Chain A
Amino acid sequence: MTVSTVVTWLVVIGGLLVLLKPMGTYLYKVFTFQPTVLDRPMKPLENGIFRLLHVSRDSNMSAVEYGVAFVLTNMVWGIMAYTLLRIQGLLPFNPEHFGNLNARLSFNTAASFVTNTNWQAYSGENTMSYFSQFAVLQFLQFVTPASGAAVGLAFVRGISGRQLGNFFVDLTLVLTRVLLPLAVIFGLIFMALGVPETLAPYLHLKTLTGQIQIVPRGPIAGWEAIEHLGQNGGGFTNANSANPLENPSALTNIFQSIAMGLVPVAFFYMFGLFTGRKRFAWTLIAVAGTLFLTMLAMIYFPEAAGNPIVNALGLSGHANMVGKELRFGMGGTAIFETSTMAFTTGSVAAANDSFLPIPGLAFFLGMFLNMVFGGKGVGLLNMLMFVILTIFLMGLMVGRTPEFLGKKIEAKEVSLTAVAFLLHPLLILVGSAIAVATPAGMAGVFNPGPHGLSEILYGFTSAAANNGSAMGGLGASLPFYEVALGIVVILGRYASIVAMLLVGESLLHKKAVPETSGTMRTDTPLFWGVLLGSIIILNALTFFPIMALGPLAEHYLLMTHHLFT
């Protein structure tokens, strides 16, 4: 490991650790309506919005109302986005005169951005006008993570014995108190570090060879800020954060990594404050943190060791730099990729297709789990889903009806939680099975052997996890994938969130049981191990066969120096 790798990792991980407490405390204050620094500038604006929406700050919704408000609002945004993309050619701020998007691509893009997935079946710089980038896509990059965070908040309120709150109030506050202020700060940082922010047309430069090269630009700095702060991950350009205009230096790379993790990690701490169980929150942070470090190691070390086939040719001593950016180095690339998979952002700082199989496995791991901090709110929701399953499975072994935060877990909660758990593999496995079994799906496979299969699996996993990154090498713009993945992102987003919201409400209405020494404790190193073990086993049992057919098969072929021609 080089010095720059160690320093980069320390800065990112240390930065997140240092910011976790103040940020979490700030979030807690905002969402329990305590005074914060931003009251003065933001309150008048918020009050105006609330008057317009006819809601008051302290109003409450039931789980069904909250869920309906969440889904309907998203639906309205989705239809809006679809319509605007379909008529892009008629709209202003289109210096490159890009035309309307076709129906399938509009559906895929609207579905992908409204679900905070940001799967891109298009290249931004060749498809989207400034208006579409700015008013459609970037708008969604603000509001959709905010609505996901709102649902997470409602769940946290429910299980900490509070009323769920009002969706529109939460949505507004996430925007005015968290995302907008942070986006301004990070946007300015990125601008200062050289990321362009302009509405001027693309640059047409004459190169040394006399050719004309078109350099796409646009309002990129602001885009990068919210792309990462909201775990959106959709790049302004096709190359995403590997493009020097989006992510120009090792420093911006560090800032983007921190931007991704800042709010999701703080959400865990905020959860501890809400429930009054900081030690439990730290236990969860430790579980997610362990998985984060595992992924980082799985990505970095095989890549740093290099490709065994290349090494065998006597070119050893070099890391596997195929598809990587030299300005980040292997350490910077690894921390960015780990972050983007852990926090389900889906932006990329390298070509995911060129990673070795074991790092590929780590990408899958992040998306299967979807709770290595995950997206803000939603990641916590997934973590607590595993906590409930673990408590139920293991809790029986202490001889009491299992309790989660003092509430008994019974048939209703177990069923809903188990169904929420089931949905993720359902979408990935059924989607992939259909893709492999149909000629339309197989038509998108451009690589032979296990890697081609991995690319299909990756597409559906990324869509189901609302991650949005692509491995590449898959014909994502084929009609089959545009439609299938569009459907998967929608189901992947809403079904499990609503199920968990119902769990939250069900727990809220239960009487709390006092804790005694007969209660299983959830804030001990033992529980850290039990939870970690359960998470790994439950996911391994679900995904081991397809991982064996994809990345593992590829890994063993690589070990035997097998080449495809």
Chain B
Amino acid sequence: MATSAIEPPQSTTVSRRAALLRDTFVKLNPQIMLHNPVMFVVEVGTMVTLWLTVTAQSAASREYDGIVTAILFLTVVFATFAEAYAESRGRAQAEFLRRSRASARARLLQPDGSWTWVEGALLRHGMRIRVEAGDTVAGDGVVLDGVGAMDESAITGESASVIKAPGDSVTGGTVLLSDYLTVEITTDPGNTFLDRMIALVEGAARQKTPNEIALSALLGVLTLIFLLVVVTLGPIAQYYGRHAVNTTTLVALLVCLIPTTIGALLSAIGIAGMNRVAKINVVAKSGRAVEASGDIDTLILDKTGTITIGNRMATEFIPVPGVPVETLAEASWIASLADTTPEGRSVVALAASLLSPRVLHERPGEPIPFSAQTRMSGIDLADGRHIRKGAVRAIAHLVDQAPPELEAAAERVARDGGTPLAVAVDRQALGIIRLKDIVKPGLKERFAEFRAMGIRTVMATGDNRITAEVIAREAGVDDVLAEVDPEGKLALIQHEQAAGKLVAMTGDGTNDAPALAQADVGLAMNIGTMAAKEAGNMVDLDSNPTKLLDVIEVGKQLLITRGALTTFSIANDVAKYFAIVPAMFAAVPILHGLSALNIMGLKTPQGAILSALIFNALIIPALIPFAVKGVRYRPQSADRLLLRNIFNWGILGVLIPFLGIWGIDHILGLFGLA
């Protein structure tokens, strides 16, 4: 699995912890903190209470101010830790990637054909380099000449090597295992996939997505409202006397009310979202693309390789009348033994499952390979028998007299969306092998889930209508477009977009590039051409088109996590009011009645305020796992998702803090603080 490749070695773990700790404190710099208004307010509040602690009149009030200051400081540290932690997870991946880049030197080709060593960093778009066995490719490019086996494990984590031939793209950081290649560089340094991936997982290149900006704006205004509530509460409470409220308590109330939970975790959620994309071996060119994938309405999928496993499989033997099915199966088995194509292997497997092992013994003979002229293959056995399998028309030509049942069976197979393959022995037709496209396992259920989420799946294929519709029905896609060329795909995307829909698609060929560029989310395959990879806004390093479905889930999970933690953060405030408001006016005799609002039965006013503040701080690290992993997500309709999340984060968000604050108050009581 891919993740194993980017797991950090043990030796760096210690330095990574140190970096995490350092970053946690570096981020406390108010100038950096200013980017996060919610936590900035907490930091300023900490300074205010610190000042109050220093200038406190009595020992008792100094102790109280001091404890509040400490909790506030912890709250800020928890927030910076959350962000630093999310970044450090990405950094581990980045370090590994960076190491493969660092060593890269390139043999730069001169016009006269000779080459000189240059640093990989000096390579520019359009330069040509020679890559020899054992070399690390120094930049992204296209193969101009030569064929060789490439080890791409540094990028994909996949250990199997890949053959690169002229026209194929190569990625910087991969290693050539055999032969040599001439490569034209297509990207400037700092802009290669490796660079992008590093920047992305480190969070450095992460720009706020539209949705994040909107949420930040709302959190900013909410903070402003609570600032207003607390700042005006001071003078308004002075209606009951000059010392009706304590400034430290007002700061505590403010910090409890402003959405610190989501404020502290918001950027961690975003960074972790990008990491999750990187984890499934997809390079996204921007966070915006990942987020947009959560909004996708229409999914345009290829048939071959995406919906089907890419190769046809034999599923049935249909003998002509008078021929036992075993005879057909045996002939097919013998004819296919030398056939190493997946189709040939599937015929062998199907026959073997039907026949008893006794008859399955290899017979000497001369295999006849498939050729485009004859459109058949087979074997000439030593015993003189000639077995052939191939296109029905070709076999019909070969045999003395093709029975009408052969044609009928072939037609039936074609009508069901399969491909018929005829088998003959010595000019006698035995029957038909049914070859079928096989839908990838689990896809049908997945499409059903997507339908529940409101995402329409459209299969677009160059195949004929009959084949396409059969597969479409089997896979359970919502719509099918047969016999489409790349222009047709582009038109389909534009048509969907005109109706306001967001479209996602995958592609690998150069002629897919316009459609990939037009789609809102275009996932290009790593094995694809450079043009396709440039046009898409994501590249799947595993070249698995089905990955698009995972990307969509990551996008949705990202939005849900933000919404859930925001809701939770706001819902928490209810309990904090019930803790703090009765406590903060406890010193005003005429307001003693407000103690009726102390429904948690918190023991002392001071303990109540501290408990609420401690809960507010502790909930941040408690929720880091949700921020980093994303809240649990199962594809469902919007209404069911809403109902579940409202309960989990809204209703429990109101109830949990009542329990938490009550519990903390009891623990504080043990230490004489409440």
User: Is A418 a contact of B638 with CB atoms below 8 Å?
Assistant: no
User: Is A553 a contact of B593 with CB atoms below 8 Å?
Assistant: yes
Interface residue B297 (Cβ < 8 Å from any Cβ of A): yes
User: Is B646 a contact of A436 with CB atoms below 8 Å?
Assistant: no
User: Is A540 a contact of B637 with CB atoms below 8 Å?
Assistant: no
Which residues in B have their C-beta under 8 angstroms from that of A398? 560, 563, 638, 641-642, 645
Which residues in B have their C-beta under 8 angstroms from that of A533? 650
Interface residue B47 (Cβ < 8 Å from any Cβ of A): no
Q: In whole angstroms, how far apart are the Cα atoms of A524 and B642 in the complex? A: 12
Interface residue B567 (Cβ < 8 Å from any Cβ of A): yes
In the complex, what residue of chain B is closest to A559 when comparing beta carbons?
B593
User: Is A526 a contact of B585 with CB atoms below 8 Å?
Assistant: no
| A398-B560, A517-B452, A518-B455 known; A546 vs B236 contact (CB < 8 Å) | yes
Task: From B456, B555, B581, B592, give the contact of A548 (CB < 8 A).
Answer: B581
User: Is B593 a contact of A557 with CB atoms below 8 Å?
Assistant: yes
User: Is B560 a contact of A513 with CB atoms below 8 Å?
Assistant: no
| A394-B646, A432-B232, A541-B257 known; A549 vs B218 contact (CB < 8 Å) | no
A-B CB contacts (within 8 Å), total count: 217
User: Is B590 a contact of A557 with CB atoms below 8 Å?
Assistant: yes
Interface residue A415 (Cβ < 8 Å from any Cβ of B): yes
Q: In whole angstroms, how far apart are the Cα atoms of A542 and B213 in the complex? A: 23
| A429-B232, A433-B236 known; A397 vs B645 contact (CB < 8 Å) | yes
Interface residue B633 (Cβ < 8 Å from any Cβ of A): yes
Q: Quick one: which of A448-467 are within 8 Å of B by CB?
A: 449-450, 452-453, 456
| A397-B649, A399-B556 known; A516 vs B456 contact (CB < 8 Å) | yes
User: Is B225 a contact of A422 with CB atoms below 8 Å?
Assistant: yes
Which residues in B have their C-beta under 8 angstroms from that of A436? 235-236, 238-239
In the complex, what residue of chain B is closest to A450 when comparing beta carbons?
B590
User: Is B590 a contact of A553 with CB atoms below 8 Å?
Assistant: yes
How many A residues are at the interface, by size bracket? Answer: 35 or more
User: Is A415 a contact of B217 with CB atoms below 8 Å?
Assistant: yes
| A411-B213, A453-B239 known; A397 vs B232 contact (CB < 8 Å) | no
Task: From B210, B557, B560, give the contact of A410 (CB < 8 A).
Answer: B210
Q: In whole angstroms, how far apart are the Cα atoms of A398 and B560 in the complex? A: 6
Which residues in A have their C-beta under 8 angstroms from that of B306? none
Interface string of A362-380 (1 = CB under 8 A from B): 0000000000000000000
**B25 shortest CB reach to chain A, Å:** 31
Interface residue B501 (Cβ < 8 Å from any Cβ of A): yes
User: Is B218 a contact of A394 with CB atoms below 8 Å?
Assistant: no
Which residues in B have their C-beta under 8 angstroms from that of A415? 214, 217-218, 221
Interface residue B466 (Cβ < 8 Å from any Cβ of A): no
Which residues in B have their C-beta under 8 angstroms from that of A413? 214
Quick check: which of B270-278, B377-385, B570-578 contacts chain A, the rest being far away? B570-578
In the complex, what residue of chain A is closest to B451 when comparing beta carbons?
A517
Interface residue B9 (Cβ < 8 Å from any Cβ of A): no
**B192 shortest CB reach to chain A, Å:** 31
Q: In whole angstroms, how far apart are the Cα atoms of A426 and B226 in the complex? A: 10
Q: In whole angstroms, how far apart are the Cα atoms of A552 and B582 in the complex? A: 11
Interface residue B591 (Cβ < 8 Å from any Cβ of A): yes
User: Is A400 a contact of B500 with CB atoms below 8 Å?
Assistant: no
In the complex, what residue of chain B is closest to A395 when comparing beta carbons?
B563
User: Is B570 a contact of A541 with CB atoms below 8 Å?
Assistant: yes
**B568 shortest CB reach to chain A, Å:** 10
Task: From A449, A519, A552, A560, give the contact of B454 (CB < 8 A).
Answer: A519
User: Is B233 a contact of A540 with CB atoms below 8 Å?
Assistant: no
User: Is A409 a contact of B225 with CB atoms below 8 Å?
Assistant: no
Interface residue A544 (Cβ < 8 Å from any Cβ of B): yes
How many B residues are at the interface, by size bracket? Answer: 35 or more
Q: Quick one: which of A41-87 are within 8 Å of B by CB?
A: none
Interface residue A419 (Cβ < 8 Å from any Cβ of B): yes
Interface residue B240 (Cβ < 8 Å from any Cβ of A): yes
Interface string of B224-264 (1 = CB under 8 A from A): 11101101111111111000000000000000010000000
Q: Quick one: which of B422-469 are within 8 Å of A by CB?
A: 451-456
**B307 shortest CB reach to chain A, Å:** 21
| A401-B211, A514-B499, A545-B581 known; A553 vs B591 contact (CB < 8 Å) | yes
| A415-B217, A526-B643 known; A426 vs B228 contact (CB < 8 Å) | yes
User: Is A414 a contact of B218 with CB atoms below 8 Å?
Assistant: yes
Which residues in A have their C-beta under 8 angstroms from that of B638? 398-400, 517-521
Which residues in B have their C-beta under 8 angstroms from that of A557? 590, 593
**A356 shortest CB reach to chain B, Å:** 14
| A400-B556, A546-B236 known; A411 vs B214 contact (CB < 8 Å) | yes
User: Is B218 a contact of A513 with CB atoms below 8 Å?
Assistant: no
A residues with a Cβ closer than 8 A to B are 389, 392-401, 406, 409-411, 413-415, 418-419, 421-422, 425-426, 429-430, 432-434, 436-437, 449-450, 452-453, 456, 511-514, 516-521, 524, 526, 530, 533, 537-538, 540-542, 544-546, 548-549, 552-553, 555-557, 559-560, 562
14 A–B contacts, CB within 8 A, in A order: A393-B570, A397-B560, A401-B294, A411-B213, A411-B217, A415-B217, A418-B217, A517-B452, A526-B639, A530-B646, A537-B574, A541-B257, A542-B229, A545-B577
A392-B218, A436-B236, A453-B239 are known; give 14 further A-B pairs, CB within 8 A. Answer: A392-B215, A398-B641, A399-B557, A399-B633, A414-B218, A421-B221, A425-B228, A426-B228, A449-B590, A518-B455, A518-B637, A537-B570, A545-B229, A549-B237
